[in-house]
Amino acid sequence: MPVRIYALAKELDLDSKDLVDLVKKAGITGKGSALASLSDDEAQQVRDSISSASKAAPKAAPAATATKEAPTQPVAPVRDLDRASTRRPAAIQIGRPKSRESAPAEAPETKRPAPVLRTPVLKPAEPTPPPATPAEPSSPKPEVRLKDVMPAARTDKPAQQESAPKAPAAKAPAPKPSGSENAPAAPAGGMASRIADRMASNSGGRVVPNRPGEPVRREALTGGGKMRSLDRASTRAGGEKPADGAKARKREPRIKVNLAQLPSAPAPAAPVSSTGPAQKPDIKLTRDVIEGHKQGMKAPLARLEKDDAEKKRNKKESAVVGEFAGRKKIVDEDEKPRGKKGLAGMASARAERARGGGGRRVIGNSDNDRGHMRRNRPRIRRKGTNTAAPRKERVQLELPCTVRSFCEASGVAMSDVMKTLMGMGMMININSEMDLETAELIATELGIDIELKAAESLEDELITEIETLEDTAESLVPRAPIVTFLGHVDHGKTSLLDYLIGINVVKGEAGGITQHIRAYNVEKDGRGVTFVDTPGHEAFTEMRARGANVTDIAVLVVAADDGIMPQTEEAISHAKAAEVPIVVALNKIDLEGVDANRVMTQLTEHGLTPSEWGGDVEIVKTSATTGEGMDELLETLLTVAELNEYSANPDRSALGVCLESEQHGDKGVVAKLVVQNGTLRVGDIIVCGPAHGRVRSLHDTLTGKPITEAGPSTPVSLTGLDTPPGAGDRFHVLKDISQAREIAGSREDESSRQSLSGITTKVSFDSFQDMLAGGTLGGEERAKLNLIIRADARGSLEAIDKELSKFDHPEVELRVLQRAVGGITLADATLASASDAVILGFNVIPDEKARQLADQRNIEIRRYNVIYKLTDDIRMMIEGRLKPEERVVELGRALVKQVFTISRVGTIAGCYVAQGSIVRGCRIRVSRDGRVIGEYPLDTLRRIKEDVKEVPRGMECGIRLSGFNDIKQDDVLEAYRIEEVARKLD
């Protein structure tokens, strides 16, 4: 009876992939997958080859293990070695070894008791003296001092005994066992000396008790900075180290600390008496002032004399604050007697001012002082008002930021920033928000290095934490695979799914299935499979583009009578790009005259080689009508799941993906979700895209019955959300409803939603070139440039393929995700978005939906009409020379509604401008049925009967092309302009 390779692998206790290799080595061909079947003879042949290989293994394996383990593991468990040699012969351990297989060899090492390991390590080391030991006899001083100190420590406090063994280590000149804990104390006699000195000096001659966390001891033992500085200080201060530790304690109990040299600071200036003559030279009178009396002014020297006399009168007052003699003190307003109010107050204030004591004046002031203060006032004010932080060269900016926060962060004066912005034609105020570009511009202008720092939101904090939380190996349990059906229209996807559900649904319950349910979980032999029914590969890839790759296995449905059709090709591309295992259901096998081999040949041409032909793709012949092969399909899916070991942790809070949602009149929002990990329960607080809420109810999507919880891989219908989330939005369970509300609210912002779904600027030729040049692609592997190619004919595709195959660059791998004939579709744009691909169109144009999505998501669509230009672009991009000489600027599109032929004038196309505008002097690209048929200059552009410069969107116009009269109704006219762009040389 035939046996599958994975079943034989189980029987022989081998890894399935290893066994596939062994089968090949045994000379059996056409068995490329673990699901391939072996006949009895073939199975026996494999068993024989394994047993012959294992004959040599028991000799080699134990010997190798024994020699390896003998020196360090004399008591290695014999049982483990036996298992290793008998169950896992070395000869058959090829391929990827399982972790549990390698465990027996490692286990004895990790489990071995510590003493067994220590003994052999210590013994050989004994004869070797520690490195510091030879130095010790030549510097005996420290040992003597430490010896004297340590007994004091022991008697001082019992806890000190812990450190006692260290003392002999430092003291003993004899060789000691290496590896002992004493080693750190030994390196230099100086260290021991420092420890002793430090201990002595810090305890006034007594060793400080050995309390945990005692800084002095720790630093002393580790030679910390403080210790060194003290040591240096002592050296500088005379530094003789007494031979006797007791003396040391006597002589310098605290002296060392006191003697530690402070940084040489300038001696404080002698206080300047405010009344002393020494102040006078400070008054630098200008010539004008001195000669002022000649011009009718009051002679300043006379005034100075008067003021001086007045100051002497106030001397007594100065003496009140005599303790601050020599300093100037500002009298606090509270200390002064309050001034009188009204006229009397004004008079007294005037009088006080006349005395020179008004307002916040300097006590003991004189005109000398006032003059001094006045002269310096402007300078002081300048100094005082310049509160800006010192200018920084490197700035960290948290976006969004205002002009004010930019100035504060960078230390640049507000006026400088404003001036720069005004110079750039930006009129903004200090509270205006700056975007990154503006911030960078200013930084460049001002010569500051700027570093963008995005503000951390609750989303980053909580959701990222949930997403990155790794489950331990013990918490993981097998989960049902999530399977998606893909394929050409009418090839039988729905029928297959219906059949699979029907055979597993309890009789009579199938009627409960609603039309809207898109995910089902069925069971076979106690093992589950979850089917997600996405309406076509665009939806499948769209989920991926939104960062929600729920699919584990893709089932490609191909009708045996039709074979591979255009949508099948697309589906293959999408499934391959998703990098999930593909199982082919060769459906409608019940139809007469179908040729399965023909389809298998087609599949091989598309890179899906059947396992029975030596490839690794399982092909199951099915019929949704008769039920043929349905069990085998289910079993194959379960086996693929088993091989891939899909697992999840049901004990964590749930996370997953929303498949679709709708607003019900009575139930509120009903969302269909798939739990990917954890368990979702009624009452949980969830946030899903812009929606949040508490789970009010959960229902089984297949039976419609209410359930209280849903584990990994379970699809559920959920109520309780406040608003319908989008298909592909991820959901997470949070602890706090306010957090869920905040996160959901922040996602309403479109940019936040886009970042959540992973929609960012896509790869373009230019960006790829920059990344390549910057070394930010690929790492150690070759950088991959994903391409989607659409061409007008199969011949063009083949020619492009041939050209691309010539590229063999060591750093770049061209990866064609999809190549097909026809215009660029929405599916291409979705695939490009999900896979960071560039779309290359050869003589084809994108349809409206594809164009819109490309605009929206920044997907690069490059169009060519000459193959060598396409290959030149790729070559130049790879070589870092891609700088377009001319850039095509798309202006607008018009649809030809009617055609008029006027004799002697030619053909006039009556058009409707559907997008952008048609501009005089532009060029027009004419497309028919999605293919470009030519490009011509615009000759005439008219509205009604008038020549016009431009016709905007939504208007009608008449267009005549130069050199082309064969315009037809429904042709698409695309207006564009070519801009010259200077090519930069390397």
Binding residues, by number, are 487-494, 533-537, 587-590
Q: What's the rounded Cα separation, in Å, for the pair 519 and 480?
A: 13
Closest distance to ligand GTP from the beta carbon of 834 (Å) = 21
Closest distance to ligand GTP from the beta carbon of 595 (Å) = 15
Closest distance to ligand GTP from the beta carbon of 570 (Å) = 13
Closest distance to ligand GTP from the beta carbon of 582 (Å) = 17
List the structure tokens of 13: 């206790």
Q: Which of 554, 559, 572 is nearest to 637 (CA)?
A: 554
Please give the C-alpha separations between residue 693 and each of 55, 199, 684, 716, in angstroms, as whole numbers. 64, 64, 8, 16
Residue 656 in the binding site for ligand GTP (CB under 6 A): no
Q: Which of 484, 405, 492 is nearest to 442 (CA)?
A: 405
List the structure tokens of 58: 């028991």
What value does the CA radius of gyration of the chain take, rounded to a whole number of Å? 44
Stretch that binds ligand GTP, among 484-492, 608-616, 801-809, 951-959 (CB under 6 A): 484-492
From candidates 591, 773, 866, 905, binder to ligand GTP by CB under 6 A: 591
Residues within window 571-590 making contact with ligand GTP, judged by CB under 6 A: 587-588, 590
Residue 347 in the binding site for ligand GTP (CB under 6 A): no
Closest distance to ligand GTP from the beta carbon of 590 (Å) = 5
Burial pattern 766-789, b for ≥16 Cβ within 10 A else e, equals eebbeebeeeebeeeeebbbbbbb
From candidates 491, 857, 863, 925, binder to ligand GTP by CB under 6 A: 491
Please tell me whether residue 278 adopts helix, strand or coil conformation: helix
Closest distance to ligand GTP from the beta carbon of 800 (Å) = 30
Closest distance to ligand GTP from the beta carbon of 103 (Å) = 47
Q: What's the rounded Cα separation, in Å, for the pair 827 and 839?
A: 11
Residue 563 in the binding site for ligand GTP (CB under 6 A): no
| DSSP single-letter state for residue 145 | H
Closest distance to ligand GTP from the beta carbon of 624 (Å) = 4
Burial pattern 637-659, b for ≥16 Cβ within 10 A else e, equals bbbbbbbeebebbbebbbbbbbb
* H or E element that contains 11: helix 5-11
List the structure tokens of 704: 């419609």
Q: Which of 370, 364, 363, 360 is nearest to 334 (CA)?
A: 360
Report the relative pairing of strands 715-721 and 691-700 from DSSP bridges.
antiparallel
Q: How far apart are the first and last CA of the chain?
A: 68
From candidates 89, 205, 481, 492, binder to ligand GTP by CB under 6 A: 492
Q: Whats the size of the chain, residue-wise?
A: 986
Closest distance to ligand GTP from the beta carbon of 567 (Å) = 8
Q: What's the rounded Cα separation, in Å, for the pair 617 and 609?
A: 6
Closest distance to ligand GTP from the beta carbon of 619 (Å) = 15
Give whichever of 6 and 531 is closer to ligand GTP, judged by the CB atom. Answer: 531
Neighbours of 580 (CB within 10 A): 20
Cβ 704 vs Cβ 739: under 8 Å:
no
Q: What is the DSSP string of 695-718?
A: EEEEEETTT--EESEE-TT-EEEE
Long-range pairs of 939-945 with CB within 8 A, sequence gap ≥ 24:
940/908
| DSSP single-letter state for residue 183 | G
Cross-strand bridge partners of residue 558: 586
Residue 489 in the binding site for ligand GTP (CB under 6 A): yes
Stretch that binds ligand GTP, among 72-80, 147-155, 487-495, 906-914 (CB under 6 A): 487-495
Q: How many residues bind ligand GTP (CB under 6 A)?
A: 15
Q: Which of 568, 577, 476 is nearest to 820 (CA)?
A: 568
Residue 483 CB-density burial (10 A; 0-12 exposed, 13-18 middle, 19+ buried): buried
* H or E element that contains 398: strand 394-399
Stretch that binds ligand GTP, among 148-156, 488-496, 732-740, 960-968 (CB under 6 A): 488-496
Tokens 């199975």 sit at which residue?
43
Closest distance to ligand GTP from the beta carbon of 589 (Å) = 7
Residue 494 in the binding site for ligand GTP (CB under 6 A): yes
Residues within window 612-631 making contact with ligand GTP, judged by CB under 6 A: 623-625
* Amino acid at the residue 149: V
From candidates 214, 471, 490, 642, binder to ligand GTP by CB under 6 A: 490
Residue 890 in the binding site for ligand GTP (CB under 6 A): no
Letters for 495-534 (x = contact with ligand GTP by CB under 6 A, - = none) are x---------------------------------------
Q: What's the rounded Cα separation, in Å, for the pair 308 and 314?
A: 10
* Amino acid at the residue 595: D
* Amino acid at the residue 300: P
Residue 43 CB-density burial (10 A; 0-12 exposed, 13-18 middle, 19+ buried): buried
Closest distance to ligand GTP from the beta carbon of 562 (Å) = 10
Residue 493 in the binding site for ligand GTP (CB under 6 A): yes
Tokens 């720092």 sit at which residue?
453
Q: What is the 3-state secondary structure (H, E, C) of 421-472?
A: HHHCCCCCCCCCEECHHHHHHHHHHHCCEEEEEECCCHHHHHHHHHHHCCCC
List the structure tokens of 703: 């039976």
Q: What's the rounded Cα separation, in Å, for the pair 150 and 144?
A: 10
Give whichever of 619 and 624 is closer to ligand GTP, judged by the CB atom. Answer: 624
Stretch that binds ligand GTP, among 434-442, 483-491, 652-660, 784-792 (CB under 6 A): 483-491
Closest distance to ligand GTP from the beta carbon of 869 (Å) = 38
| Residue 149 φ/ψ, nearest 5 degrees | -80, -45
Q: Which of 569, 572, 482 is nearest to 532 (CA)?
A: 482
Output the known binding site for GTP.
487-494, 533-537, 587-590
List the structure tokens of 428: 């903004």
Give whichever of 31 and 588 is closer to ligand GTP, judged by the CB atom. Answer: 588
Q: Which residues bind ligand GTP (CB under 6 A)?
A: 487, 489-495, 587-588, 590-591, 623-625
